[in-house]
Structure 1
Amino acid sequence: MSTDYRISDLMTCVIANLLKDRETVFHGVSSQLPMVAMHLAKNMHAPNLVHLNIPGGVNPSSIKQSSFSSAGADLVDKSESYFPLDEIFDLSMRGKLDVAFLGGIQFDINGNVNASVIGDYNKPKVRLPGGAGSAVLIPTAKKAIIWRTKHDKRTFVKEVDFKTTRGNLWKIVTPLCVFVYKNGQLQLDSIHPHTTIEEVQENTAFPLIYDHITYTELPTKAQLQKLKIIDPYDYRSVEF
């Protein structure tokens, strides 16, 4: 284990550790951190993982020159084959997509995800991108993983302002902890070694549910060394 890591390194390794060999995994736009995590998993423990992305690339050989949108043409140019976005939705609805990485702005204890508006829907304070892939992929992918680089009471709220989609989440990875969706509620799966249960609760608007406190596994030295090679431009830290 290594203590010489940043939050972006930890979250990338946590996400990579959630992925298994031979799984088919998809990431969308503005998904630099999970994109790097997928590449890390393929280089460490899941060589047969199938990497799908928005431009349609399958198993891009490198992400070193990938655009900051994580949707650059190079993800197709350096890939093994082409699999367009409409086919990914079809793949998921047929039950063949193992993991989908998705985002959101608000989450509540019941697993509701808001990616549509902040405030009243008819007169919103902020209008967000909307459901897009989340409305299709969260209900249909075998495992939906959400990452969020902010963990505060405006993000993890008592009740979301708008239900873009709900249910069928698997894990939510944040700078403080990992949530798991279990028995219809978000429950604490682990807290990161640099925080405390008190800090996590102070930054979460709903009461934490957990059987016992488990600490997230630290990145290994091998993982951190590999990250420097596969992500030399530090795309994994863009959102921080």
Structure 2
Amino acid sequence: MNKSIGPRVCDIMVCAMARLLQDEDRVFHGVSSQMPMVAMALARHIHAPNLVHLNIPGGVNPASIKKPSYSSAGSELLATGEAYFPLEYVFDLSMRGGLDVAFLGGVQFDVAGNVNASVIGDYHKPKVRLPGGAGSAVLIPTAKRAIIWRTKHDKRTFVEKVDFVTTRGNLWKIVTNLCVFEFKNGSLYLDSIHPTSSLEEVAANTGFQLRYDEIRYTPLPTEREISMLRQIDPFDYRAKEM
């Protein structure tokens, strides 16, 4: 596909994430999470009207993201929410098995599904010290389905073995700007390739040998999805992470 005239990668990613969500799911996102926030709103408008949106400020199902200045961890999430469910309750909910989906980030991932959000290089003398596990160390192991999203897919990000294991084991999907990975049978498998990319491009930008059962492509956004995205995200927050 000619990338100059094809669909935007941010739209493909958001629609792919939205389709992973089910009606009545309890879904959490953290800071700097514009794409998951828009994906959750899209899912609620398209196929999951009873999805429960949880976030750091604690506003359940915030009303709208149609503002020229809007944060994925801002006070407006609480001010326009239907109810108050603070962050410490989210951790408790996940530990009790009641959190269906957690959208979380990371900096380095390996074929065994380990996530590094702590350091690059040796832990005691790191090249880069990262923010650390924070919620990921608790929510990835305990949420029913943990989804990572990453807008930069390269060999420094997807490695044979992470420099430090911040958390491990309970990933479900990783959505990147090139593809979707699924964690199964103890390894990351290539689930689908975005139509804006190719198997060769994914392989060239992944630091471990790709595993896959078959070559599949991520479905393009539908006209309805694109139309709805323009309505619920008129300021294009979904593109700000690209």
TM-score range, shorter chain: over 0.9
The offset of 1:106, in angstroms, is 0.3
The offset of 1:4, in angstroms, is 5.1
Task: State the superposition RMSD in angstroms.
Answer: 1.1
Distance in 2, matches of 1:177 and 1:147, equals 10
- The residue aligned with 1:206 is 208
Deviates most, 222-231 or 60-69:
60-69
The offset of 1:134, in angstroms, is 0.3
Q: Which of 22, 42, 50 is equivalent to 2:44?
A: 42
Q: Which of 190, 215, 218 is equivalent to 1:216?
A: 218
Q: Which of 86, 90, 93 is equivalent to 1:91?
A: 93
Distance in 1, matches of 2:68 and 2:141, equals 29
Q: Deviations over 1:177-219 (max 9, x none)?
A: 1000001100011111122111110000100001110111110
Match of 2:159, SS state, is: coil
In structure 2, the CA distance between the partners of 1:68 and 1:161, relative to structure 1 (3 Å rule), is farther
- The residue aligned with 1:127 is 129
- The residue aligned with 2:72 is 70
The offset of 1:66, in angstroms, is 7.8
Contact 2:6 2:196 in 1 (8 A): no
Distance in 2, matches of 1:191 and 1:221, equals 20
Give the letter aligned to residue 76 of structure 1.
L
Q: Give the share of equivalent positions with the same residue, in percent.
A: 70
Q: Return the TM-score normalized by structure 2.
A: 0.96
The offset of 1:158, in angstroms, is 1.3
- The residue aligned with 1:236 is 238
Match of 1:165, SS state, is: coil
The offset of 1:137, in angstroms, is 0.2
Structure 1: 5+ residue runs without aligned partners? none
